[in-house]
Chain A
Amino acid sequence: DVKVTQSSRYLVKRTGEKVFLECVQDMDHENMFWYRQDPGLGLRLIYFSYDVKMKEKGDIPEGYSVSREKKERFSLILESASTNQTSMYLCASSTNDRGQYFGAGTRLSVL
C-alpha cells in the first residue's frame, strides 16, 4: 500500500511565524502535491512537483513556497503565517499514470 505521511496532524501557530509542513511518500512516486481544503471550496492546488528540485505553481500559490530536495519528501512553507491560512492542508503523491494518494492532512490554525 502507498503511504503518504504528513508530519503533523494538528498545528497551532502565531501570525507572522514561519511554518513548515512536511510530507513523505514511500512509493517512489514522481509527482507530489500540496492542497488546502476549506468548507465549500473543495480541494485547491497550492503547488506541485514532478521531480526533485522542480516545482510548479498551482491555483493558489500566494503566501506559500515549497521545497523538494529528495524524491520522497515535499515540504510546504508558509513564510509569514496569516490567519487566512488557517485550513486543512493535504499532501498527495502519484505516478504519471493514474490517481493521487493522499496523506491524512494537517489541520493548521493561525492565531
Chain B
Amino acid sequence: DQQVKQNSPSLSVQEGRISILNCDYTNSMFDYFLWYKKYPAEGPTFLISISSIKDKNEDGRFTVFLNKSAKHLSLHIVPSQPGDSAVYFCAAREAGSYQLTFGKGTKLSVIP
C-alpha cells in the first residue's frame, strides 16, 4: 500500500516554462514533506521541504505547495532549465519519526 504516490512517471517541459510535479499521500500522520532531486549514478540531494503548518515554501526557482485537506503537494520550478532534468522524489515523515516514506519518482526532462 503506497502511502506516497507520484502518479506521473515522467514529464517533459520546454526550457523557460513552468514544471509542476505532483505528489499525493494517504497517511494523515505525515507532518513534514520533502522533495529530492536525483541525477543518474548519484545519490538524491535535498531540494526543498515544507512543514504541515505551512501551505507554501519558496526557495529561488523552486516552490512547494501543500494542500492538507486534499493530501496533495506539488513542486513548481520556474523557469525550468535543462539542468533541472532529473528524477524528483517526494518524501514524507510522520510526526515523531525520523523515517521517510518515498514516492516512486517522476523523471523530468527539460527540453532546450
Binding site for B on A (CB under 8 A): 4, 6, 9, 30-31, 33, 40-45, 48, 50, 58, 90, 92, 94, 96, 98-105, 107
The answer to whether B99 and A102 have CB atoms under 8 Å apart is: no
Query: Smallest CB–CB gap between B10 and chain A, Å?
Result: 11
Closest residue to B98 on the A side, CB-wise? Answer: A31
Binary interface encoding of chain B residues 30-48 relative to chain A, with 1 for a CB under 8 A from any of its CBs, else 0: 0010101000011111100
The answer to whether B42 and A100 have CB atoms under 8 Å apart is: no
Query: Smallest CB–CB gap between A97 and chain B, Å?
Result: 8
Given A98-B32, A99-B34, A43-B98 contact (CB < 8 Å): no
CA distance A4 to B23 in the complex (A): 27
Chain B hits for A105, CB < 8 A: 41-43
Given A99-B100, A100-B100, A42-B105 contact (CB < 8 Å): yes
The answer to whether A101 and B46 have CB atoms under 8 Å apart is: yes
Q: Is B25 part of the binding interface, using a Cβ–Cβ cutoff of 8 Å?
A: no
Closest 7 CB pairs of A and B: A102-B43, A42-B104, A43-B102, A102-B44, A99-B34, A104-B43, A105-B43
The answer to whether A4 and B98 have CB atoms under 8 Å apart is: no
Q: List 25 A-B contacts (CB under 8 A).
A: A33-B99, A42-B103, A42-B104, A42-B105, A43-B44, A44-B102, A45-B99, A48-B99, A58-B99, A90-B43, A92-B43, A96-B98, A98-B49, A99-B34, A99-B91, A99-B100, A100-B100, A101-B46, A102-B45, A103-B43, A104-B41, A104-B42, A105-B41, A105-B43, A107-B41
The answer to whether A41 and B45 have CB atoms under 8 Å apart is: no
